[in-house]
Amino acid sequence: MDRSIVPPQQHKQPSRKGKRAWRKNVDVSEVQEGLEVVREEVIQGGIITEKSSDALFTLDTTGSANIQNSYNKIHKPLKADQIIAQRSLVPAIDSRKRPGVTNGIVEPSSKRRKSNGVGPQEYERLKLRAYGGEAVTKDIIKADSIPKYDPWVEDNIKVQDHRFSYLEKAKPIRAPKSLTEAPISLLGSSKVMPAVIKPRPGTSYNPIFEDWDQLLTEEGNKEIEAEKKRRQEAKAEEEEQARIAEARNERDDLLTEDESAWEGIESEYEGAEWLKKRRPERKTPAERNKVNRRKEAERQAKRDIETKRRTQQALQIKAIALQVHSRDTTKNMAIATIGDSSDEEIDDRVLRRRKLGKNALPAKPLELVLPDELQDSLRLLKPEGNLLGDRFRNLMVRGKIESRKPISQPRQARRTYTEKWTYKDFTVSA
């Protein structure tokens, strides 16, 4: 079959003024450079324009080391500050328990957890409830102020109803006499004991050797004397017990020897002579009246002497008042002179013989550091003493309160249990 020869066909070309033609022969070198810069910033840690100011800038709070060294040369710090400022660069071990198994690396947690299962708000609430809260703080007054409430003043006096006039009236509240009297100090000397005693230099944690050696010698001598006294008392007690045992043995021997000698001998009350003794006769009325008159005369003489003495005192009352005033003035001056001498040391362990109450005052603990307990670092010091115990003993020595023993087993009220017989009170319905 013959085919006709057709010339090559030319396809229709689109317009060169369209959007596709615009993308040809365009210079994108600036865009390429910008992309490269962005890639470099991403590799180095992030795009700078997207970071905050805190990530780009830092505030120098340490200062220059050269300036600090030059300042330290002129102003040297204290040794105590240098010891306290020493801190280890190694972080502390976090000993809190965490559930689960880790890879061996434990990161410190910044989250504040509850202590023993109690949150901070719950802890404050329990603390206020335990210590009374406002109910206690409102009753606290200053030493130089007047309290708003006086327990010895009866404000609301109850008027008794006339229907209960036969009942005994309630007695009014009376303040004790000792409330207006000055406390009696238990110190052996006549010095006035302050609320806080100035400690001796030898009791310091880092004392001077002379003061510490003097205090150590004094306390050692006191302990030696106390040990000697204790041994003497123990020896005297042993000798007394030996004498008692020896006397008891001699008495048993005498009783065994005299038993045979007294056998068969009658006592003076077993014979008939004892029955014949005359009993004392009763006094006659005249004799009784005579005795009564003599006793009445003696009582009248005593009354006359007492009346005469009171009359003489009434006449000399002015002279007595002047004597009392001068004696009080002299006593106050002596107390003021003793109070001014605050530089003198007061030994609150030397007490007077007569004590207040039945119980003895607790002994003061020994405030002395032994040679093997002296430390050269504040970190090695151990807290010793009890401020509450010292304050409590100070109040007892000053006579503010009396010494008492702690009651470990208080007495309990006795209760009697009985069975009620009310089940017998019943009626049978007809």
What integer pLDDT is reported at residue 84 of this predicted model?
81
Please report, rounded to a whole number, the percentage of residues in the chain having pLDDT higher than 70: 74
* Residue, of 289 and 143, whose pLDDT is higher: 289
Q: What's the confidence (pLDDT) of residue 108?
A: 52
* pLDDT over threshold 90, residue 229: yes
Reply yes or no on whether the pLDDT at 263 is more than 90.
Answer: no
Q: What angle do CA 79, 80, 85 make, to 5 degrees?
A: 100
Q: What is the pLDDT of residues 28-54, one digit of tens each?
A: 889 899 999 999 998 888 888 888 888
Read off φ and ψ for residue 19, nearest 5 degrees.
-70, -30
pLDDT number for residue 276: 57
* pLDDT at site 112: 54
Which residue(s) pair with 115 in the sheet?
118
Res. 357: pLDDT tops 90: no
pLDDT band at 172; cut points 50, 70, 90: confident
Q: Which amino acid, 265?
A: I
pLDDT in tens, 174-183: 888 888 888 8
Mean pLDDT of 328-355: 68
Residue 259 has pLDDT above 80, yes or no: no
Residues 210-236 have a mean pLDDT of: 92
Q: Average pLDDT for residues 243-261, to the nearest whole number?
A: 69
Q: What is the pLDDT of residue 20?
A: 66
pLDDT score at 246: 86
- The pLDDT assigned to 224 comes to 93
What is the predicted pLDDT for the residue at 430? 58
Rounded to the nearest integer, the mean pLDDT of the chain is 78
Output the pLDDT for position 37: 92
Which of 421, 29, 367 has the alpha carbon at shortest distance from 198?
367
Is residue 136 over pLDDT 70? no
Mean pLDDT of 150-157: 74
Instruction: Check whether 220 has a pLDDT greater than 70.
Output: yes
Residues 118-133 have pLDDT tens digits of 788 888 888 877 766 6
More confident residue, 99 or 228: 228
pLDDT of 36 reads 93
Average pLDDT over residues 143-160: 70
User: What is the predicted pLDDT for the residue at 356?
Assistant: 77
User: Could you read off the pLDDT of 57-89 as tens digits, one per residue?
Assistant: 888 887 888 888 888 888 888 888 888 888 777
Instruction: Give the pLDDT confidence of 358-393 residue by residue, as tens digits.
Output: 888 888 888 888 888 888 777 888 778 888 888 999
pLDDT at site 360: 84
**What average pLDDT score do residues 340-356 get?**
70
Confidence of residue 411 (pLDDT cuts 50, 70, 90): confident
Quote the tokens at residue 241: 């017990």
How confident is the model over 298-339, as pLDDT tens digits? Answer: 999 999 999 998 888 888 887 888 888 888 787 767 665 555
Instruction: Please tell me the predicted confidence (pLDDT) of residue 278.
Output: 61
Q: Are 201 and 207 in contact (CB under 8 A)?
A: yes
The region of weakest confidence among 137-141, 193-197, 248-252, 311-315 is 137-141
The answer on pLDDT for 417 being more than 60 is yes
Q: Output the pLDDT for position 295.
A: 92
pTM > 0.75: no
Instruction: For residue 118, list its beta bridge partners.
Output: 115
Structure tokens at 70: 């030059």
